Chains A and B, each alone.
Chain A
């Protein structure tokens, strides 16, 4: 099944357009019995921002953790499908290997090291790097350039900084690994709208200037679609819709269901006529 996808004899034109990250029909089971992802497929282009949308419990976090190989610590397991980063299978790697290859996750709820200072938090992000102190100091300055607030707070214990500052610390910490792709899980959670804008603005900057790709899991559909080029909507462990961000934002059903722009009660996408599943044929 998935072997066909990774076969070397792809046409040159396709190879050029090969996405940085390809998730193919991934199934995830927790505790050996709880089936949570039921064949999720998605792609992130090199240098792109892709939004992974869906309600609470849809499986966004599970998808990101399947990619970053953080499921093990949660007794979860990828039982089917494959994950490729730059054409290489990565679904059996350790998180450490994956960070070295340039994929770093920023977890939902920030997960800063509460008793470490902001600067120490940032420096832990450079753990996998083998380059010189000067290079790491350079990266630190760069992070401070993007997040000037962190520079002011560099000596504070991260646990005592504000939610927005913690989110910035978590993103900055990931940047210190010099990733080419960041898996960003619900950065807007619990933050005031203007802080959310500030953070998304910086994400846009990082994408534009540093060429970092983002896979962005969000419940805040509106904001995510403003910054992403492409989006997937996840429901109950399946991708139920995908498309260019502008299309999704204009789609009546998305508006109705996720943006709350309709007076109709909340319905499932299953009831909506545009419902389709992508890559069914792969299963």
Chain B
């Protein structure tokens, strides 16, 4: 039983990190209807920049962190200004293709700046079990996982408050609902989009640091970020609570499947099991757990 508990907790904790990446997608999708395929590349770029600044330029964490943050905010703003703003009013598929192109560009750029050899990254908390938990209850829970979950959790709560309680957050939801009406009351769309992309850059940085510290900073971070896809399918593309719950479900079920189902089918199912859950779910509830239903009443 304590083993099951261990697996479940580990799954839930990694689920919080999935939720964090998913949030980056949700933010942009909500405000501009763009599925930002480049979100994964942004996560990679953020982690590579932070690790590169520390290791190549020997900067202390407290200098590297704000610099990496600045880089991500500038990147977000630049994407909005240079790529998406000129494409406004174009069909969604065009915007989607643009973000695919962007993904490769950002990946190339981060390899140009920081090289292509994978690096380690430390945030000062090790992937060690809490000693007292192991001693007293014989349960192993990783300190790093808890740390990452707490950071992600705080960020998620802050974002939710930002969306729900602030003037800009409200404007952002208004833009998500109806561009024209938002314009008609004087909400400048471009200003809102710029904010959203900057925030998405920030979210990508936090996700990049946490995932980078867990799995190392390498090209594969991009694919880790795409784990957010099943989370989004489960939670709905426009819902913050959906991203959180979706992340928890995916995280927990993939770990449990890996441990209990994996041995019977030869193992290694953690990589794709999430997509199976998502697909099955898609058939039952295409709008996601918390997806916003379209309100058609006049």
Q: Which residues of B contact A106 (CB under 8 A)?
A: 184
Q: Is the CB of B295 within 8 A of A177?
A: no
Q: Is the CB of B295 within 8 A of A116?
A: no
Q: How far is the CA of A160 from the CA of B188 in the complex (A)?
A: 26
Q: Is the CB of B179 within 8 A of A124?
A: no
Chain B's closest residue to A163 (CB) is B298
| Interface hits, A174-205 → B, CB 8 Å | 174, 176-177, 190
Q: Is the CB of B181 within 8 A of A111?
A: yes
User: Smallest distance from the beta carbon of B290 to chain A beta carbons, Å?
Assistant: 12
Instruction: Return the CB mask of A101-120 against B: 1 if under 8 Å, else 0.
Output: 00011110001111110001
B-side interface residues, number (CB < 8 Å): 23
B56 at the binding interface (Cβ < 8 Å): no
| Interface hits, B6-39 → A, CB 8 Å | none
Q: How far is the CA of A121 from the CA of B181 in the complex (A)?
A: 10
Q: Is the CB of A73 within 8 A of B185?
A: no
Q: Which residues of B contact A60 (CB under 8 A)?
A: none
Q: Is the CB of B179 within 8 A of A95?
A: no
B178 at the binding interface (Cβ < 8 Å): yes
A68 at the binding interface (Cβ < 8 Å): yes
Q: Which residues of B contact A95 (CB under 8 A)?
A: 183-184, 186, 188
Residues A127 and B89 in contact in the complex (CB < 8 Å), given A113-B174, A113-B178? no
Q: Is the CB of B89 within 8 A of A124?
A: no
Instruction: Specify which of A68, A94, A124, A177 is in contact with B170 (CB 8 Å cutoff).
Output: A124
Q: Which residues of A contact B182 (CB under 8 A)?
A: 113, 124
Q: How far is the CA of A165 from the CA of B142 in the complex (A)?
A: 53
Q: Is the CB of B178 within 8 A of A114?
A: yes
Instruction: Specify which of B173, B176, B184 is in contact with A111 (CB 8 Å cutoff).
Output: B184
Q: Is the CB of B186 within 8 A of A190?
A: no
B177 at the binding interface (Cβ < 8 Å): yes
Q: Is the CB of B180 within 8 A of A107?
A: yes
Q: How far is the CA of A105 from the CA of B181 in the complex (A)?
A: 9
Q: How far is the CA of A46 from the CA of B180 in the complex (A)?
A: 27
Q: How far is the CA of A177 from the CA of B187 in the complex (A)?
A: 11
Instruction: Specify which of B89, B181, B186, B295 is in contact with A96 (CB 8 Å cutoff).
Output: B186
Instruction: Specify which of B171, B174, B184 is in contact with A68 (CB 8 Å cutoff).
Output: B184
Q: Is the CB of B297 within 8 A of A127?
A: no
Q: How far is the CA of A115 from the CA of B170 in the complex (A)?
A: 11
A75 at the binding interface (Cβ < 8 Å): yes
Chain B's closest residue to A109 (CB) is B298
Chain B's closest residue to A166 (CB) is B298
A90 at the binding interface (Cβ < 8 Å): no
A151 at the binding interface (Cβ < 8 Å): no
Q: Which residues of B contact A112 (CB under 8 A)?
A: 178, 181
B167 at the binding interface (Cβ < 8 Å): yes
Q: How far is the CA of A174 from the CA of B297 in the complex (A)?
A: 22
Q: How far is the CA of A70 from the CA of B185 in the complex (A)?
A: 11
Q: How far is the CA of A125 from the CA of B188 in the complex (A)?
A: 12
Q: How far is the CA of A18 from the CA of B167 in the complex (A)?
A: 37
B126 at the binding interface (Cβ < 8 Å): no
Q: Which residues of B contact A116 (CB under 8 A)?
A: 170, 173-174, 177
Instruction: Specify which of A94, A114, A115, A125 is in contact with B185 (CB 8 Å cutoff).
Output: A125
Chain A's closest residue to B189 (CB) is A73
Q: How far is the CA of A10 from the CA of B167 in the complex (A)?
A: 43
Q: How far is the CA of A10 from the CA of B179 in the complex (A)?
A: 40
User: Smallest distance from the beta carbon of B193 to chain A beta carbons, Å?
Assistant: 14
User: Smallest distance from the beta carbon of A271 to chain B beta carbons, Å?
Assistant: 36
Instruction: Return the CB mask of A83-107 against B: 1 if under 8 Å, else 0.
Output: 0000000000011101110001111
Q: Which residues of A contact B177 (CB under 8 A)?
A: 113-116
User: Smallest distance from the beta carbon of A170 to chain B beta carbons, Å?
Assistant: 8
Chain A's closest residue to B185 (CB) is A125
Q: Is the CB of B89 within 8 A of A173?
A: no
Q: Is the CB of A128 within 8 A of B173?
A: no
Give the interface centre of A73, A115, A190 by most chain B CB atoms within 10 Å: A115
Contacts A70-B180, A176-B185 known; list 12 others, CB within 8 Å: A70-B184, A95-B188, A96-B188, A98-B186, A111-B181, A113-B173, A113-B177, A114-B178, A115-B295, A116-B177, A123-B167, A124-B174
Q: List 22 A-B contacts (CB under 8 A).
A: A70-B180, A73-B180, A73-B183, A95-B184, A95-B188, A96-B186, A99-B186, A107-B180, A107-B184, A112-B178, A113-B182, A115-B177, A120-B170, A121-B174, A125-B185, A127-B171, A128-B185, A157-B295, A159-B295, A163-B298, A174-B185, A177-B186
Interface residue ranges, A against B (CB under 8 Å): 68, 70, 73, 75, 94-96, 98-100, 104-107, 111-116, 120-121, 123-128, 157, 159-160, 163, 173-174, 176-177, 190
List 5 tightest A-B contacts by C-beta distance, closest first.
A99-B186, A159-B295, A111-B181, A113-B177, A128-B186
